[in-house]
């Protein structure tokens, strides 16, 4: 299965990166060059994803190989967690869960073949789920589960919610005054690691004098980005977001799971309720930000695989025959049949299937820009696509690697001032601006830059060359 996962990811090794994944790779690379998160390199994500890329680059060279290694590592670690959680109902259940995970863990429409934040959240949530259900009252496993839920929240703070709801469900089963010690033990084991680890993060940024930058990015901006949480959750209950088209391929397996719940609920009430509580936390994790991007729905995959493995074994147990294995084989066949066509697509076709043409255009334009710039010449893109820095590759002259927060949101005045200071200090040889997002903003730079009609028929991008630069001299000679 590990080999299959590695082969799946190898197929999309050179696929154009989505902007989020490129952002994390670029920022991890810059952190390895000595730049600081939030005070210089700005992003609204907690530090987990950036530290992950920073660490991986110490092992695997920056570029597509690093992204590939991250994707394979996360999928394989989740495979181990899925097998372990499935095996709570026996090794056959674990094997089926692992097979289902292997079949759909690189799904294209869920954008799961590349390592966005959700793949790392899945690693820790799946491990936390297994440790919790297998712990009994063993404190070491409860603390292990709590650490996993805390680490998941380092990628998105709300990723702790499945663990919180799982704890509440466990407390429900610890009734009676005489069981107060068990309730305290569960609560401490599952919650204290989050308190401890996040306190360490807060102190770290406070002691290094970067607290205001961290708080502004991760708290203030995200409060603006998320908006009305209650309204978001109600929106998430609508059918188009609760079970969107990109998840329909899971329907046969979900029918098997639903029938198993119906048939065995009385016998395995606790397991199904714990799974339901955990799944409710995943719903909250997906719905709270309200943007409902396809890659959010990757978060359903591990628990679907685990519940599928359980269901097949329980069907066999209920009917005393092989009907569960037959149902599992049919579901697995349908999954493979659904996924197989993706592996006949080339990289541009795969990107077009997953997104629109944006990232294909970015890579084509990056190829053109790379041919125009000398190695020592610098480039900055004032827009929302950091993929240019990864594709060229180029080091961003400003830590505002995507510009939208400098123009919209509660931090816009501060971040725009930082952006302009950075550009005045570094003076990139080539500026490219998105004229659709920021109409006529290029005029702010005309005292130091001249417009270059690199793409005369293009309305989106404006290209500016620094006056007196070698690039300007070469463009004049080539006219």
Q: Tell me the pTM.
A: 0.94
- Candidates 405, 463, 403, 462; CA nearest to 436 is 462
- Per-residue pLDDT tens digits of the chain, which is 479 residues long: 999 999 999 999 999 999 999 999 999 999 999 999 999 999 999 999 999 999 999 999 999 999 999 999 999 999 999 999 999 999 999 999 999 999 999 999 999 999 999 999 999 999 999 999 998 778 888 999 999 999 999 999 999 999 999 998 888 877 766 576 777 788 888 889 999 999 999 999 999 999 999 999 999 999 999 989 999 999 999 989 999 999 999 999 999 999 999 999 888 888 999 999 999 999 999 999 988 999 999 999 999 999 999 999 998 888 877 888 999 999 999 999 999 999 999 999 999 999 988 899 999 999 999 989 999 999 999 998 999 999 999 999 999 998 999 999 999 999 999 999 999 999 999 999 999 999 989 898 999 999 988 877 788 899 999 999 999 888 876 66
DSSP 364: H
The token pair that represents 212 in the structure block: 């205001």
Residue 461, helix vs strand vs coil: strand
What are φ and ψ of residue 180, in 5° steps?
-65, -30
- Angle, nearest 10°, between helix axes 2-11 and 64-86? 150
240 close to 297: Cβ distance less than 8 angstroms: no
Q: Identify any residues that bridge with 451 across adjacent strands, giving them in sequence order.
A: 464
């Amino acid at each position: 299965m590990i080999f299959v996962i590695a082969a799946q990811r190898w197929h999309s090794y050179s696929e154009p990166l989505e902007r989020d994944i490129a952002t994390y790779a670029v920022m991890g690379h810059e952190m390895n060059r000595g730049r600081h998160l939030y005070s210089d390199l700005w992003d609204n994500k907690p530090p987990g994803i950036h530290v992950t890329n920073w660490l991986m680059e110490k092992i695997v060279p920056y570029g597509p190989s690093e992204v590939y290694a991250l994707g394979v590592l996360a999928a394989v670690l989740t495979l181990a967690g899925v097998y372990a959680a499935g095996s709570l109902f026996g090794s056959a259940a674990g094997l089926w869960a692992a097979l289902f995970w292997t079949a759909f863990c690189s799904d294209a429409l869920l954008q799961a073949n590349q390592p966005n934040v959700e793949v790392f959240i899945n690693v820790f949530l799946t491990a936390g789920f297994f440790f919790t259900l297998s712990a009994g009252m063993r404190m070491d496993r409860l603390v292990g589960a709590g650490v996993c839920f805390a680490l998941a929240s380092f990628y998105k703070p709300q990723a702790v919610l499945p663990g919180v709801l799982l704890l509440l469900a466990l407390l429900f089963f610890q009734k009676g005054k005489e069981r107060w010690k068990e309730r305290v033990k569960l609560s401490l084991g599952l919650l204290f690691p989050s308190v401890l680890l996040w306190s360490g993060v807060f102190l770290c940024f406070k002691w290094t004098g970067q607290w205001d930058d961290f708080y502004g990015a991760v708290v203030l901006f995200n409060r603006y980005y998320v908006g009305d949480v209650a309204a978001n959750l109600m929106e998430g209950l609508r059918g188009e977001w609760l079970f969107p088209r990109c998840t329909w391929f899971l329907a046969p397996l979900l029918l098997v799971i639903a029938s198993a719940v119906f048939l065995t609920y009385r016998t395995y009430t606790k397991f199904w309720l714990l799974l339901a509580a955990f799944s409710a936390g995943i719903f909250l994790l997906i719905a709270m930000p309200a943007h409902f991007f396809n890659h959010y729905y990757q978060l359903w995959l591990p628990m679907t695989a685990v519940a599928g493995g359980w269901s097949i074994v329980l069907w066999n147990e209920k009917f005393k025959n092989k009907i569960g294995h037959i149902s599992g084989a049919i579901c697995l066949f349908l999954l493979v049949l659904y996924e197989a066509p993706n592996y006949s697509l080339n990289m541009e076709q795969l990107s077009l299937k997953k997104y629109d043409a944006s990232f294909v255009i970015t890579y084509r334009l990056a190829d053109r820009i790379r041919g125009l710039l000398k190695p020592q010449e610098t480039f900055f893109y004032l827009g929302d696509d950091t993929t240019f820095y990864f594709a060229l590759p180029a080091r961003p002259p400003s830590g505002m690697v995507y510009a939208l927060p400098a123009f919209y949101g509660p931090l816009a005045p501060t971040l725009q001032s930082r952006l302009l200071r950075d550009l005045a200090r570094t003076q990139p040889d080539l500026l490219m601006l998105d004229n659709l997002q920021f109409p006529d903003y290029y005029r702010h730079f005309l005292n130091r830059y001249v417009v270059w009609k690199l793409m005369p028929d293009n309305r989106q991008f404006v290209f500016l060359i620094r006056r007196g630069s070698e690039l300007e001299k070469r463009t004049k000679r080539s006219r």
